[in-house]
């Protein structure tokens, strides 16, 4: 009775826990901590979406059970979004399902399609649910490079040759959390050709589809001819419309994978609260200026952050997408690793960031910095970081270019 439960034993200690504890302790002492560690949007949900929620929740009929696959109107709205945005035509009855955010959908699909001992290919570093959803389901995970280029493709070919059993599924996530890498359609074409040839499922996480800052507009893998033979894609309204707490997203693509997710969800939940789903229809079908406004806001914050870090002597690539900067640990602190560095930055500068180790072992030389505070608070954080760096003998290199882009962001 004292032995840990089997599936819990497969989960390592939560990497972020020690930093979160230190953050809570500092706040308990009355310290002002600027939290750039969580990917939690700080802007309000657009008013027209909130109004639709309020209108619908006032109808008592909306308080009854919903359906786990999502109301028909929302599935049609998702199909409409894919048609407008990616020129991808979906059948809302067989190729779309509503999820309680993309995280829930990924985890439940992993449970639906995984047998104990299966091998799953997951980028490292990557968002934790990408690997742990499958680990909880009993699979083994093989790490591949997180960059959308030849490095990943070569690693995929090696994995097929040398993995026993042969891999059954591959996770991709562009724009990426935490690395902010973007992929283009040509890369997806190569990925789809590989997966079809090797009969490997692709699960694409496109949660940051609408947060991009440059000329590369994130595509959908489903736009590749033949992709729906092997691929399903997860998207979320959390970041696009600042609806993180609403927990509404969707999966689209391969009919067999959608059917598997539909079946397992039918045993586990009754779907999102109906007024939330109705409001989500308004988000997708209504005016989209709020999406462009949010994109511009994150771009403004990105520019303030990268310029300020550079002036502090911290050379961080400027992300072309997502709401994060993937920051190499400055050289004087590199050997201590991301957890110890995050604690030191919290203790001495009052700024919380996410240790890269939490996204995989190959992220331990980075930290993730979220664009989740207004520019005033960001500048306050940057002043503290500059003082922290100066106290440790770090000076800004006068000739560095603060606008440089990360290597291998686009293949």
Spatial separation of the C-alpha atoms in residues 65 and 214, rounded to whole Å = 43
pLDDT tens by residue, 192-218: 999 999 999 999 999 999 999 988 899
Q: What is the mean predicted confidence (pLDDT) over 100-125?
A: 94
Vertex 324 angle, CA 320 and 325, to 5°: 75
- Strand runs (DSSP E) across 192-347, as ranges? 201-205, 231-236, 249-253, 324-328
> Are residues 142 and 153 in contact, defined by beta-carbon separation less than 8 angstroms?
no
pLDDT tens by residue, 265-287: 999 998 999 999 999 999 999 99
Spatial separation of the C-alpha atoms in residues 328 and 353, rounded to whole Å = 12
Using CA atoms, how far residue 213 sits from 172, 292, 306, 392, in Å, is: 20, 10, 13, 33
pLDDT tens by residue, 115-125: 999 999 999 99
Is 405's pLDDT higher than 60? no
Residue 407: per-residue pLDDT: 44
Q: Enumerate residues 6+ apart whose C-beta is below 8 A from 247.
A: 100, 101, 104, 238, 272, 276
**Quick one: pLDDT band at residue 399, thresholds 50, 70, 90?**
low
Lowest mean pLDDT among 48-52, 220-224, 247-251, 400-404: 400-404
pLDDT tens by residue, 299-355: 999 999 999 999 999 999 999 999 999 999 999 999 999 999 999 999 999 999 999
Find, among 86, 410, 85, 76, the residue nearest to 224 by Cα: 86
Domain limits, CATH 3.40.640.10, in the chain? 60-286
Residue 174: per-residue pLDDT: 96
Q: What percent of the chain has pLDDT over 90?
A: 83
The reported pTM is 0.91
Q: Enumerate residues 6+ apart whose C-beta is below 8 A from 397.
A: 313, 315
The mean of the pLDDT values for the chain is: 92
CATH for 6-44+289-390 is 3.90.1150.10
Is 381's pLDDT higher than 70? yes
Spatial separation of the C-alpha atoms in residues 296 and 316, rounded to whole Å = 20
Protein fold of 60-286: 3.40.640
């Amino acid at each position: 009775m004292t032995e840990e439960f089997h599936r819990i034993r497969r989960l390592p200690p939560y990497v972020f826990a020690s930093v979160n504890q230190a953050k809570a302790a500092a706040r308990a002492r009355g310290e002002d901590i600027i939290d750039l560690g969580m990917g939690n949007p700080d802007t309000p949900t657009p008013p027209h979406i909130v109004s639709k929620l309020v209108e619908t929740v006032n109808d008592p009929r909306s308080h009854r059970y919903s359906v786990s696959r999502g109301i028909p109107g929302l599935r049609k709205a998702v199909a409409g979004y894919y048609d407008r945005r990616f020129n991808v035509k979906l059948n809302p009855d067989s190729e779309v399902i509503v999820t309680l955010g993309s995280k829930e959908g990924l985890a439940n699909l992993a449970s639906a399609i995984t047998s104990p001992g299966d091998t799953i290919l997951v980028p490292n570093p990557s968002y934790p649910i990408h690997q742990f959803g499958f680990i909880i389901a009993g699979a083994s995970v093989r790490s591949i490079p997180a960059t959308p280029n030849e490095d990943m493709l070569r690693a995929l070919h090696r994995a097929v040759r040398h993995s026993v059993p042969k891999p059954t599924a591959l996770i991709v996530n562009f724009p990426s959390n935490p690395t902010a890498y973007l992929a283009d359609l040509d890369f997806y074409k190569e990925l789809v050709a590989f997966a079809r040839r090797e009969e490997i499922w692709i699960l694409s996480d496109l949660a940051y589809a609408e947060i991009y800052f440059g000329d590369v507009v994130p595509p959908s893998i489903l736009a590749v001819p033949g992709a729906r033979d092997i691929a399903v894609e997860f998207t979320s309204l959390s970041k696009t419309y600042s609806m993180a707490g609403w927990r509404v997203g969707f999966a689209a693509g391969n009919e067999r994978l959608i059917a598997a997710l539909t079946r397992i969800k039918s045993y586990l939940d009754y779907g999102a609260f109906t007024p939330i789903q109705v409001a989500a229809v308004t988000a997708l079908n209504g005016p989209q200026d709020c999406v462009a406004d949010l994109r511009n806001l994150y771009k403004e914050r990105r520019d303030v952050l990268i310029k300020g870090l550079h002036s502090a002597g911290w050379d961080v690539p400027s992300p072309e997408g997502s709401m994060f900067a993937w920051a190499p640990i400055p050289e004087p602190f590199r050997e201590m690793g991301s957890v110890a560095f995050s604690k030191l930055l919290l203790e001495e500068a009052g700024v919380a960031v996410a240790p890269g180790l939490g996204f995989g072992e190959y992220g331990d030389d980075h930290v993730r910095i979220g664009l989740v505070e207004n520019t005033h608070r960001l500048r306050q954080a940057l002043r503290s970081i500059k003082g922290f760096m100066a106290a440790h003998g770090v000076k800004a290199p006068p000739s560095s270019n603060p606008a440089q882009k990360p290597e291998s962001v686009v293949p």
